[in-house]
Amino acid sequence: MVISMPRSKNQDKMSLISVHVPKKMLEELDELVRRGIFPNRSEAIRAALRDLLYKEVFKTKPPKEEEKEEDLPISLLKGR
């Protein structure tokens, strides 16, 4: 499902991807949104992907939420 919304400068830098997830996983994701932990599915998925990249690629912990996060150093991903 794609919803058209006004684009911010930050969104202009993003790419749209599609993934298939089990129904139960989607229900759990929606529960996180319902509880207000994340504002929407996209933010929850971005947070999970960011944590995975920090853990597996950069071998470090992601910054704390209260810290301002810069763009991921994608140049470190070259050759992988």
Distance CA 63, CA 39 (A): 19
Distance CA 40, CA 17 (A): 16
74 or 32, which is more confident?
Answer: 32
Q: Answer whether 71's CB lies under 8 Å from 46's CB.
A: no
- State the average pLDDT for the chain: 77
The helix (H) or strand (E) run that includes residue 33 is: helix 23-34
Place of tokens 């790419």: 15
The answer to whether position 66 is within a domain reads no
pLDDT of residue 60: 77
The answer to whether position 77 is within a domain reads no
What proportion of the chain, given as a percentage, has pLDDT over 90? 44
Range of the domain at 51: 23-60
Please give the tally of structural domains in the chain. Answer: 1
**pLDDT, tens digit, for every residue of 34-51?**
999 999 999 999 999 998
The answer to whether position 53 is within a domain reads yes
Place of tokens 């759990």: 28
The answer to whether position 35 is within a domain reads yes
- Return the beta strands (E) in the chain as ranges: none
The answer to whether position 44 is within a domain reads yes
The helix (H) or strand (E) run that includes residue 58 is: none
Does residue 53 register a pLDDT over 60? yes
